[in-house]
Amino acid sequence: MRRREAVEILTAACRRAGALSVATMQAVPVWHEVAPDLPLHMDMLGAMGSASSLGLGLALGAPGRPVVVADGDGCLMMQLGSLVTIGHARAANLTLAVLYNGTYETSGNQPIPGAETADFVALARASGFANACRIAGADELSRQIDGLIAAAGPNMVVIDIAREEPAANWPALSMKKQIQDLRAALAAG
């Protein structure tokens, strides 16, 4: 599956669930092409590996609303300890979607450590996630994503995607403005 296909499925599921969403690194440009009008969304820019932590904060701050984080495998490797923190916090409304291609794509497609041996699903389960699975195809992701987001979590879905060249066109974004917009949208109900 290509990243765009996975992001299309994730954004549609976020829209159906009324979820808060976070995207990071290579998911950001695609997310904004696919769903530029998704109101409860923000990007984690300039802090590779921190999307899962931001998602946890949103989940704890808005426990009545689903939170979906589109993270990368390379990003998650940079802050792997966040899995233990998420498992410990038991954020029932958090779903971490890890787009897995085995590389640090943003910096030139270098292999991530453990690309052939590390098991994010096993790491999530050992860290206290309620649900964790790996999905390789778009049809399977389409069938399962709504149930995963609705399930009491924290939840992780590792989504196998093809290796691609890093994005060339990035949206001009201000995290400060995204935070202000998100705060206003949540306050409005």
Q: What is the pLDDT of residue 162?
A: 79
Residues 124-157: pLDDT tens digits? 999 999 999 999 999 999 999 999 999 999 999 9
Q: How far apart are CA 138 and CA 5, in angstroms?
A: 7
Q: What is the pLDDT of residues 49-106, one digit of tens each?
A: 788 999 999 999 999 999 999 998 887 888 889 999 999 999 999 999 998 887 656 6
Architecture of the domain made up of 3-188: 3-Layer(aba) Sandwich (3.40)
pTM for this predicted structure = 0.88
Please state the φ and ψ torsions of residue 34, each to the nearest 5 degrees. -80, -40
- The residues near 60 (Cβ < 8 Å, ≥ 6 apart) are 89, 91
Identify the pLDDT of residue 70. 92
Residue 38's contacts (CB-CB under 8 Å, 6 or more residues apart) are 11, 14, 15, 21, 31
